Amino acid sequence: MSATASTILSVVRFRPLRFLRAIVTLAAGLALSVAFAACSSSSASPETSPPVRIASQVVATVETDPVPHRGDAADDPAIWVNPTDPAKSTIIGTDKKGGLAVYDLAGKQIQYVADGPMNNVDLRRGFPLAGGKAAVVTALNRATDTIAIYRVDPQTRGLVDVAARRIELGISSYGSCMYRSPRSGKFYLFANSEKGEVEQWELFDDGRGKVDARRVRSFDVGTQTEGCVADDRLASFFIAEERRGIWVYDAEPGGGTSRTKVDSTDGLGHLRADVEGLTIAYGPNGTGYLFASSQGDSTYAVYRRGGAHEYLGSFQIVDGGEIDGTQHTDGIDVTSVGLGSAFPRGVLVLHDGRNDSGNQNFKLVPLESILQS
Ligand code: CA
Ligand code: CA
Ligand code: CA
Ligand code: CA
Ligand code: CA
C-alpha cells in the first residue's frame, strides 16, 4: 500500500532520488487521511521498526516569532496538519502569560488569542462536531483551572472558541494532552496538576455545536507531572513525572492505575530532570517514535513507540547559521506527515527557553535530520 512508502524510514532511505522524493511527498499527503482513519482499527501488536540512527546534533530551519510576554512564557506547541494543503499547516503555541499564538510554517504569527494563561496545548482531528468533523484544540487555563476548547477554522487557520461552558477541573491545572480511543472512537483530555494528580475527561458535542466534557477517571502519579502524550492506536498514555522519569498507563477510562516505567532520571536511565514534553511520531502498524524533552541537559531522547519502548538515542538542537539552538525545553510536538517542501518528511517543533533574538519562541526541525537511515 502506498501509505507504507510514507513512513519516516522508507522516506529517508530514498533521499537521494528526486522523483521518488516527489512520490513520497505525495504519499505522505495521502497518509494523512490513512493515518488518522487508522485510529479506528486497533493495531495493538507492535512491530519492529527498521533500523534508524538518531543524529546527535541537529539545527532548526525555522523559528517562530517570539511570544509577546517576557521571561518563561512560551511553553508547548501543537501542530495542525492542513488536510487540503499540508504546506499551509500551522503551529499553535502556548504563551502561559497570556494566551495562544498561531504561526504558519515560516514562523510568522497569524493569530493571537488572549484568553488567559494557557499551559500545554494539544489537538485532534476528526472530532464529530455540528454534523461535520473538526480539528479540536485544548489547553488549560491556569487562572481559572478550566479547559479551554477551540476548533481550527480551515479557511482562516485561526482558532475559534467552542467550549460549551466554563468547564472546571477538580484539580489545579498544569499539564494536559488529548487522546482518541481506537476502541470507542471517543475523544478525551488528560489534565494533570503540579501534585501529580491526573483527570481524564471525555469530550463530546453538546448538541449545539459546542464541545462539553465529563470527568471519567482520576489517578495519582506521585510527584509533579506536566508533559504527557497519548498513543491513539496502541491506547497508551505516557506521562512525565518531572523529577523521576516517564510512565506509561492504559489510556482507556477503565484502564486502572497499573503502569510501566519507560525511562528514568536516576542515573541508570537516559533523562536529566526535569522531564518535560512528550510526543509521538506515528509510523504504520504500531511503529514510530516517542520523543521526550530531558530539560536538565537540554537534550531529547528517542524511544521506539511500541513494545518495550527501547531507547534509541538522544540529540541536541544546536546553533545554526541563522537560528539558535534550544535550551530548557518544555513542550514538544511532532508529525511524520510531510508538510510540503520545507518539511517533506514531517517536523519536530520545540519550545526554546532561551531565544537569542528576543522573548521565548518555538523552533522547527525537519524530522529526517533527526531520524537518519
Ligand atoms: Ca519553562
Ligand atoms: Ca514543568
Ligand atoms: Ca535558544
Ligand atoms: Ca512547562
Ligand atoms: Ca532566535
Q: What are the tens digits of pLDDT across the range 86-119?
A: 999 999 999 999 999 999 999 999 999 999 999 9
Looking at the DSSP bridge assignments, the partners of residue 129 are 132
Task: Starting from the CA of residue 275, give the closest ligand.
Answer: 2
User: What's at 21, amino acid-wise?
Assistant: R
pLDDT averaged over the chain? 90
With a cut of 90, say whether residue 50 has pLDDT above it: no
With a cut of 80, say whether residue 40 has pLDDT above it: no
Q: How far is the CA of 356 from the centre of ligand 5 (A)?
A: 5
Q: How far is the CA of 73 from the centre of ligand 4 (A)?
A: 9
Looking at the structure, tell me whether residues 16 and 83 fall in a common domain.
no
Identify the pLDDT of residue 41. 34
Q: How far is the CA of 183 from the centre of ligand 5 (A)?
A: 43
Write b or e for each residue in 265-291: b if 16 or more Cβ atoms lie within 10 A of its Cβ, otherwise e.
beeebbbbbbbbbbbbbbbbebbbbbb
User: What's at 191, amino acid-wise?
Assistant: A
Asked, for residue 35, whether it belongs to a domain, the answer is no
Asked, for residue 129, whether it belongs to a domain, the answer is yes
pLDDT tens, 156-205? Answer: 999 999 999 999 999 999 999 999 999 999 999 999 999 999 999 999 99
Q: How far is the CA of 163 from the centre of ligand 4 (A)?
A: 23
With a cut of 60, say whether residue 279 has pLDDT above it: yes
CB 279 within 8 A of CB 346: no
Looking at the structure, tell me whether residues 170 and 77 fall in a common domain.
yes
Looking at the structure, tell me whether residues 2 and 68 fall in a common domain.
no
With a cut of 80, say whether residue 45 has pLDDT above it: no
Write the CB contacts of 71 (distance below 8 Å, at least 6 apart in sequence). 97, 360
Asked, for residue 41, whether it belongs to a domain, the answer is no
User: Which residues have their alpha-adjacent CB atom under 5 A from ion ligand 1?
Assistant: 72, 330
Looking at the structure, tell me whether residues 20 and 108 fall in a common domain.
no
pTM: 0.88
CB 345 within 8 A of CB 360: no
Q: How far is the CA of 209 from the centre of ligand 5 (A)?
A: 40
pLDDT tens, 339-356? Answer: 999 999 999 999 999 999
Looking at the structure, tell me whether residues 12 and 89 fall in a common domain.
no
Looking at the structure, tell me whether residues 8 and 122 fall in a common domain.
no
Task: Starting from the CA of residue 319, give the closest ligand.
Answer: 3
Asked, for residue 42, whether it belongs to a domain, the answer is no
Looking at the structure, tell me whether residues 19 and 115 fall in a common domain.
no
With a cut of 60, say whether residue 42 has pLDDT above it: no
Task: Starting from the CA of residue 276, give the closest ligand.
Answer: 2
Q: How far is the CA of 355 from the centre of ligand 5 (A)?
A: 5
Asked, for residue 253, whether it belongs to a domain, the answer is yes
Q: How far is the CA of 207 from the centre of ligand 1 (A)?
A: 38
**Domains of the chain: total:** 2
Looking at the structure, tell me whether residues 21 and 71 fall in a common domain.
no
Looking at the structure, tell me whether residues 3 and 65 fall in a common domain.
no
Asked, for residue 46, whether it belongs to a domain, the answer is no
Q: What confidence category does residue 49 fall into, taking pLDDT thresholds of 50, 70 and 90?
A: low
Asked, for residue 321, whether it belongs to a domain, the answer is yes
CB half-sphere exposure, 208, CA atoms < 13 A:
5
Q: How far is the CA of 265 from the centre of ligand 3 (A)?
A: 23
Pairwise pLDDT comparison (13 vs 371), residue with the higher score: 371
Q: How far is the CA of 209 from the centre of ligand 4 (A)?
A: 31
Place of cell 511570544: 67
Q: How far is the CA of 98 from the centre of ligand 1 (A)?
A: 15
Q: How far is the CA of 70 from the centre of ligand 4 (A)?
A: 15
Task: Starting from the CA of residue 327, give the closest ligand.
Answer: 3
Task: Starting from the CA of residue 73, give the closest ligand.
Answer: 1
d(CA 293, CA 265): 12
Q: How far is the CA of 66 from the centre of ligand 3 (A)?
A: 11
Task: Starting from the CA of residue 64, give the closest ligand.
Answer: 5
| Residue 255 belongs to domain spanning | 53-372
Looking at the structure, tell me whether residues 4 and 121 fall in a common domain.
no
Q: How far is the CA of 326 from the centre of ligand 2 (A)?
A: 16
Looking at the structure, tell me whether residues 132 and 18 fall in a common domain.
no
User: Which residues have their alpha-adjacent CB atom under 5 A from ion ligand 3?
Assistant: 324, 352, 354
* DSSP letters spanning 105-164: TTS-EEEEE--S-EEEEEEEEEEEETTEEEEEEEEEETTTTEEEEEEE-TTT--EEE-BS
At 319, which CATH number?
2.120.10.30
Identify which of 372, 341, 261 has the alpha carbon closest to the alpha carbon of residue 88.
341
pLDDT tens, 213-232? Answer: 999 999 999 999 999 999 99
d(CA 70, CA 363): 17
Q: How far is the CA of 72 from the centre of ligand 1 (A)?
A: 5
Asked, for residue 43, whether it belongs to a domain, the answer is no
With a cut of 80, say whether residue 18 has pLDDT above it: no
Q: How far is the CA of 226 from the centre of ligand 2 (A)?
A: 5
**Chain centre to alpha carbon of residue 285:** 19
Looking at the structure, tell me whether residues 142 and 289 fall in a common domain.
yes
Q: How far is the CA of 242 from the centre of ligand 2 (A)?
A: 7
